[in-house]
Amino acid sequence: MAPRKAHQKSRRGCVECKRRHVKCDETRPTCQRCTLSERLCTWEALRNVHESRSASSQAASETHAQSPAQPQSQSQIASRPPSPVTHAISTRPHSPSQNHGGSSSDVLITGPSDISVNMDHLELIYHFYTETCQTLVKTEDQLRRYRALVVEQGLKRPFLMHQILAFSALHLSLRRPQRQDYYRGIATALQTKALAGLTEILPQVDASNCLDVLLFSHLIGLHVFRDIFTSLKDDFNAFMEALVGCIRLLQGVNVVIRSWRDVLRRTEIGSLMDEAEDARMMQKNSLGECLPLHELMDNADLSQPSIDACQKALNKLQEFFHIENAYPEDRTSSANAIFGWLVTASTKYTELLAQKRQEALVLLAYYAVLLHRRRESWVVGNAGRRLFKALTTHLGSGWEPFLAWPRSVFHEDEDLGPTPVSTSS
């Protein structure tokens, strides 16, 4: 038997892997182990330079006493805790395949603390500010106020910044289909981190952070909704479970925020809240979209509390049709307020959806028309058409008389065949 080849121990690994006594793959500027565990990756040669600089600085300080007015030493700067923006752009977990030979995502800035700048996150915040924000509001004035506010608050709250970056990555996954899997991977990792941060802060929401939670709930709602409809296949039960889960998440956050409404009205977002309220209170422009559903509710085989819940949801649904009819020019390209009906639905109605009661599903089929009117929004895309098709397949022909109007709306454009997913901004 040939003698066993001796193991050649590498002495060129990073400082962190040596400290932990684990094998380093020596990928620079950030090795895979440090990348996956989100540790600061430094290298022996660079550390020696810093130690040499520190020793030189110490020797110099013994000869020349430093006055209070002099600049801080490099070692003092290096010992500072990371700022909120540094934390927000330097914590994305990578997979080994994302290193690209160590040349694209992370750039090593030479200096006393060897800060590793995450170029992906810088790209994401830039894209959110210049592109994604435009798809979330209706006017230029709203855009100016919204994007300044959400980015400023994100720099203060890591959980909000993680969701901002996650949502931007989701948008880029559609804008750049050749790298769709790459950006969706980033979006998923950042969203997971964002939700973990929200879980920590929800039990202690107060006047100092309720605005951040509100901004977060808006973005996470859009994100989760898009994910649900992107993955909608033929399993109706799994789809409804995911949709109800999304609704309950938004309703839970909304309950927390509701008690801070007066405080929020005094913040920078107060004017946007007032504009939304004005839209709901404006003169009704009813086209009677939901009239056939009143007959359905009058003859529903449900308990009285269930009928009341469906009737309340029906009235709210008609209110949202009023708003859509008042802004016909805006209804195809914006995701603004599109999930209002789901968020304001009662707990009882949500339970009926979870039970897949037919009357509740018919209401949801009418809501699919509202989604269809916003189909040019990248968040919504063909969600309305897919939702209506899934619901009618599940309900069967016995419910067709109550579905005639929404079906006619979809047939005005084309048959119920598949349509391309919108990737417009």
Of the candidates 222, 216, 132, the residue with the CA atom closest to the CA atom of residue 168: 132
Of the candidates 52, 59, 29, 66, the residue with the CA atom closest to the CA atom of residue 112: 52
Longest CA span, the chain: 94
Q: What does the alpha-carbon distance between residue 167 and residue 172 come to, in Å, rounded to a whole number?
A: 9
Structure-token pair, residue 102: 């160590």
Question: Which residues on neighbouring strands pair with residue 117, listed in sequence order?
Answer: 107
pLDDT at 379: 92
Note whether 267 and 211 are within 8 A (CB): yes
Residue in this structure with the two tokens 């397949």, named with its chain if needed: 393
DSSP annotation of 284 reads P
pLDDT at 70: 45
Query: First and final CA of the chain: distance in angstroms?
Result: 66
Q: What does the alpha-carbon distance between residue 149 and residue 126 come to, in Å, rounded to a whole number?
A: 15
pLDDT at 2: 53
pLDDT at 323: 80
Q: What is the pTM of this model?
A: 0.69
Question: Which residues on neighbouring strands pair with residue 356, listed in sequence order?
Answer: none
Question: Which residues on neighbouring strands pair with residue 106, listed in sequence order?
Answer: 118
pLDDT at 283: 55
pLDDT at 328: 62
pLDDT at 114: 64
Helix (H, G, I), strand (E, B) or coil at 318: helix
Cα atoms in the 13 Å half-sphere on the side-chain side of 146: 26
Q: Which residues of the chain have pLDDT under 70?
A: 1-11, 38, 44-114, 232-233, 278-286, 327-334, 413-425
pLDDT at 27: 78
Element (H, E) at 247: helix 236-258
DSSP annotation of 113 reads T
Q: 220 vs 129, 224, 249, CA distance in Å?
A: 17, 6, 9
Q: For the chain, give every domain's residue range.
A: 121-270, 292-413
Of the candidates 311, 407, 423, 288, the residue with the CA atom closest to the CA atom of residue 359: 311
Q: What's the pLDDT tens digit per position in 92-113?
A: 444 434 443 333 444 444 555 5
Note whether 166 and 128 are within 8 A (CB): no
pLDDT at 99: 40
Q: What does the alpha-carbon distance between residue 200 and residue 298 come to, in Å, rounded to a whole number?
A: 45
pLDDT at 243: 92
Note whether 327 and 314 are within 8 A (CB): no
Cα atoms in the 13 Å half-sphere on the side-chain side of 3: 3
Structure-token pair, residue 335: 């995701």
Q: What does the alpha-carbon distance between residue 194 and residue 170 come to, in Å, rounded to a whole number?
A: 14
Q: What does the alpha-carbon distance between residue 316 and residue 337 come to, in Å, rounded to a whole number?
A: 13
Question: Which residues on neighbouring strands pair with residue 108, listed in sequence order?
Answer: 116
Helix (H, G, I), strand (E, B) or coil at 54: helix
pLDDT at 125: 98
Question: Which residues on neighbouring strands pair with residue 107, listed in sequence order?
Answer: 117
Note whether 10 and 23 are within 8 A (CB): yes
Which residues are within 8 A (CB) of 313 and not within 5 positions of it... i.e. 6 or more apart?
Answer: 341, 345, 346, 349, 360, 363
Structure-token pair, residue 161: 């910044």
**Residue 131, phi-psi category: left (phi > 0), alpha (psi -120 to 50), beta (remainder):** alpha
Rg (CA), the chain: 27
